[in-house]
Every structure is written in structure tokens, then in C-alpha cells.
Structure 1
Amino acid sequence: MLVVSEQNSTAQPLVLVDRPRPQLAVVTLNRPERMNSMAFDVMVPLRAALEELNHDNDTRVVVLTGAGRGFSSGADHKSAGSVPHVEGLTKPTYALRSMEVLDDVILAIRRMHQPVIAAVNGAAIGGGLCLALACDVRVAAAGAYFRAAGINNGLTASELGLSYLLPKAIGTSRAFELMLTGRDVDAEEAQRIGLVSYAVPDDELLDTCYSMGERIASFSRPGVELTKRTLWSGLEAGSLEGHMQAEGLGQLYVRLLTANFEEAVAARAEKRPAAFTDDKL
């Protein structure tokens, strides 16, 4: 099966779905020239692909990965793409609908019947880290790295469930430190702190995930599905969806009421330190 919604500059589908082994589907973000950034032109077909696979009873395990050297570099600062169904909306409502599109991708992974394995082949930055954390299992290539990037961009580091999911994955002290410093975590450290299950050589990443997927698929379907459900319900003392709404509103507040995001983008382009302020220019 090949999912095609939008296309990149080389007329290739932005989201690919392949079946390398029986009962296993691989979803690949296919915008390598932008390190698979989370433009809406990518996220909308990704959500559609996940929803289709969720109802495909021949698929027992899903692997999510990226083409090229990035898993996903998070928000696209140059070409965000088109948000569907926003004609006639004001800017604040447009922003809310945009946030909802991205929230729906995270929740689609969480709600899938099948376990989802993140094959983190490269950079998982900002929203890309959130994508990886939404998956049930994470495996990193040796060259992969992770960053909670919002704080570096003059925003909050809390987005798309990150401040909910990261402390549960690695503990509160480490999560606070990574989100407040915005530093990079390489694959070796990610394995050591429990952010990923394994760090493997780059050329062994997909085969490792395929073998794990085949093992999972060999077990009882309801046993696997109920195990996934109970693991998540046990982690959720509160509501993930409600928490994401609070995160998103905080992110929008900072984005719309300050010029810090624009300053961060400009400073990066001009190769200078960013000078963040509290007032919208």
C-alpha cells in the first residue's frame, strides 16, 4: 500500500507505507530535504495513514521512521504547509485548528490497536521527539539524537504531550533538565536513561525493529492489544488529551504574544545568539 496525499519537490509521496514482512507495516516520513519536518502537508497524510492502518486487521505491528538523516526535525520554520478546513477563520482560531491537526497525529499513534515502534534513524527534535515518545517502543540508530527544542526557540518546551510523556519515560529530574536546557541527547545516553530500548548500528536499525515486530506479532492479538491498552491506562493518572490542550494553549500564548519565535529563527539564520524579549514587535 502506498499512501499519497501531498508531494515533495521531486514528486515523491510525503508519507510512504510499505510491508517488508508479513503482518508488519512501515510508515516512512518522506521529506528528507527538510529532515521530515512536521509541515501540515506531511502530518495530514501521516494521520490518514495511521488511521487506515489502525483498521487494517492484517497489520499487527507498525514501525514509524524517517527518510534520510532525520526522524523528524519538528516544526518547519520555512514551509509549514496548508492546514485543511480553515477557510474564513480568524488567526486565533486558525492557530487552534493547526494545533489540533498535530495533536490528532499524536493521539492517533496512542489509540492504534497495534503497537507502534519508533525506528529513530536520525534527529528527533521538538515535535519529532514528541512523535517518538507517542510510540509504544523506541529504538535508536547510533547516529540518532533527541532534543526538546521549544525552549531554544523562545517558546515553552511543552508541546504535543512532551511534558506529560517525557517524565514518564525517563523520570522527572531528567525530563526537567532536558526540557529546560534544550540540549541534545545522543543515542548512547538515550539508551542509558531509558528514552529508547536499544541503540544499534545505523544499518541494523530497521532489521532490529522488524525482528521485534515479528516477535510481538507472534503473540495473541487480543493479548497484545490489551497489554498496550493497560500499559497506557496505567500511565495515565490524568487525561493525556486534556494535558495536551493545556500544553498547546501555553505554546500558543507564547507564540502569539511575543516575538521570540521570530527572533530565534532570525538569529539562527544570522548565526548570532538570540535576544529574547517579552513583547510582541
Structure 2
Amino acid sequence: MKQASSDERVRSVIITGVGRAFSAGTDLQQLSTGGTPSNARGEAYANSTDTTRPAPWTLPSIKKPVIGAINGVAVGLGAEFTLQCDVRIAGESARFGWVFVHRGLVPDTGAGTWLLPRIVGLQNAARLLFSGEIISAQAAKEIGYVLDVVPDAELMDRAFALAASMSKGGPLATAESKRMLYQGLGRDGVEHMKDNVPTLNRMFASEDFKEGVNSFLQRRDPVWTGR
């Protein structure tokens, strides 16, 4: 993910599963034998003083749009992983479940208790987290968790089409928009505007802004440099 974030040739990222499931979550056999999944990254972020990173999770923190193409089951850690995508498209076979309460746990990455209510609202998040219910792709769409539901055979085509549409804008503007989108979730409007104004001024001074204006006036596709 870090390589994709820094590679100028990459404009968007698509995450999907291999086989019939997106992710079935943590290996319960490992847990049953006394193993404990490492939470070193979460602990490191909790103790960090770095205020430049927009979110404690990898996918929201990379500079490129991340699209989740959810095929089959995404439960437990798998459901948490889908939360960290910027946009989610689900195949008809997709299922989502935050089943942690049935294992005596809270959502392990913290995304379920922080991002989920911001996406589907407090009431829907409470129902999903407290019941551990596994919901269908259509039910996920109805509460606003996924952008669209498509036949499984069309999932990747839809994801690539969405990635193409999200890759047409200036890469610098896209990266800054994503950063501010996630950082804005944790601050008030006044604090947010203190970031928005200098960010906008940097955009006005960028080569991409000049190219965006010139390409529009010349009625041609822009050639972005990301600078």
C-alpha cells in the first residue's frame, strides 16, 4: 500500500478477495490455542504524537482512492478491512458481519467503533456491533454502507469503471481532498477551515491547477504532473 501511495503511475487502488470470500477474519484456531493477534500498530498509533497522518489505518492514510470490491463473506477482521476502503462496491454474494461480540471482543482495528457510525449512523452501527448480525449486500446498500450492488460476474468491471472515474482529476488535489476528508472527521469546522485555506492556496499555486484551467479552456484532456 505504501508503494502504491508513492507511485505516481498508480491513480487508484482496488482491494478484493481471492476465491469465494473477501475475508473470513482472524484464524480462530490460532486464538483457541492461546495465540493473540498483534496490536502493535494500533498501540503505536495511540501513543504517537504525529498529527499529520489523517487516520490510524493504512488504507485511509494512503494518497490514492481505495475501492473495495467485496466478493463473498467479509466478517470480523474482514468487515473491518472493508470499512477502511474509501468506497465499497459489493457483489450480490457479499455478506458483512461485525461478529466480535460473539467472541467476547470489541472490533479489533477500532474502525468498527469509529468509522462505522460515521458511515451508517449511530443507530445502524449499534445494531450491527451489538447483535453481531451478518447482513446481505442489499441490506448494506440500504443503510449506505456500500455504494452499489452488482452481479458477482460484473463486480470487477464495475470497480475498474469506478476507479477510472476517480482517476481523472488532478492527483495532488485528489490526495489533499482525501487527507482533509478523513482529518475533518475528527475536528470542528473552525479548525478544519484553518487547514482548508492554506491547502487551497497551495492548490492555486500548483502546476496541476494551471493545467486544469488551460485544458478546460483548450477543450482537451488534462496532462497532470501531481505538482
TM-score, normalization by structure 1: 0.58
- Check whether the contact 2:42–2:109 (CA below 8 A) recurs between aligned residues: no
Identity across the alignment (%): 31
Counterpart in 1 of 2:5? 54
Question: Higher RCO, 1 or 2 (CA under 8 Å, sep at least 6)?
Answer: 2
* Aligned match for 2:149, one of 199, 203, 207: 199
Secondary structure at the aligned position of 1:156 is classed as coil
Q: Tell me how far apart the structure 2 counterparts of residues 157 and 149 of structure 1 sit (CA, whole Å).
A: 8
Shift of 1:79: 4.7
| Secondary structure in structure 1 of the residue aligned to 2:174 | helix
Work out the CA distance in 1 between the residues paired with 2:187 and 2:73: 30
**What secondary structure does 2:145 align onto?**
coil
Q: Please tell me whether Structure 1 or Structure 2 has the larger radius of gyration of its CA atoms.
A: 2
Could you say what the CA RMSD is over the residues aligned between the two structures, in angstroms? 2.4
Q: Over residues 218-277 of structure 1, what are the superposed CA-to-partner deviations in whole Å (9 max), with x where a residue is unaligned?
A: 111112112211211222249xxxxxxxxxxxxxxxxxxxxxxxxxxxxxxxxxxxxxxx
Of 151, 174, 179, 1:224 maps to 174
Secondary structure of the 1:130 match is: helix
* Structure 1: gaps spanning 5 or more residues: 1-49, 81-90, 239-281
Q: Distance in 1 between matches of 2:7 and 2:171?
A: 13
Matched, 1:175 2:125: yes
- Aligned runs of 1:222-261 on 2, under 5 Å? 222-237=172-187
Would the aligned equivalents of 1:127 and 1:160 in 2 still touch at CA under 8 Å? no
- Give how far 1:138 is off: 0.6
Q: How many residues align?
A: 176
Deviations 1:183-213 (A, max 9, x none): 1110001111001000111011111010010
Structure 2 unmatched runs, 5+? 46-55, 189-227
* d(CA) in 1 for partners of 2:89, 2:101: 25
Counterpart secondary structure, 1:210: helix
Aligned residue for 1:184? 134
- Cα distance in 2, alignment partners of residues 65 and 179 from structure 1: 23
1-side partners of 2:186 and 2:69: how far apart? Answer: 24
